[in-house]
Amino acid sequence: MIASLDGQVGAEITVIVVNWNRRDLLRRCLESLARQQGAGFEVIVVDNGSEDGSPEMVEREFAASGRLRVSLIRNQV
């Protein structure tokens, strides 16, 4: 793990995934990341105004369950 300037421990790797109305592909991507072992990492999902339930799926199946260290950013494009 990497320590930040404020002393908090952060991830060694940050994966950024951009999504727009590709819920099924996003789910497959996040499931693959959840299976990875080894280096600590975090995932940032940037959703560009999806209307297919992608943000809700990320929150329900990954963020809330703790399966993956994930942050969701909702862009209203």
Residue carrying the six token digits 């959840």: 34
Using 50, 70 and 90 to split pLDDT, how confident is the model at 11? low
Q: Which of 46, 37, 23 is CA-nearest to residue 68?
A: 37
To which H or E segment does residue 3 belong? strand 2-3
CA distance 47 to 55: 7
Instruction: Give the structural domain span for 43.
Output: 2-74
- Torsion sign (Cα): 35, 66, 64, 69: negative
Bridge partners of 16, per DSSP, are: 44
- CATH number where 8 lies: 3.90.550.10
In the chain, the number of structural domains is: 1
Of residues 7 and 28, more confidently modeled: 28
Q: Read off the pLDDT of residues 28-71 as tens digits, 9 standing for 90 and up.
A: 999 999 998 776 789 999 999 999 999 999 999 998 877 788 99
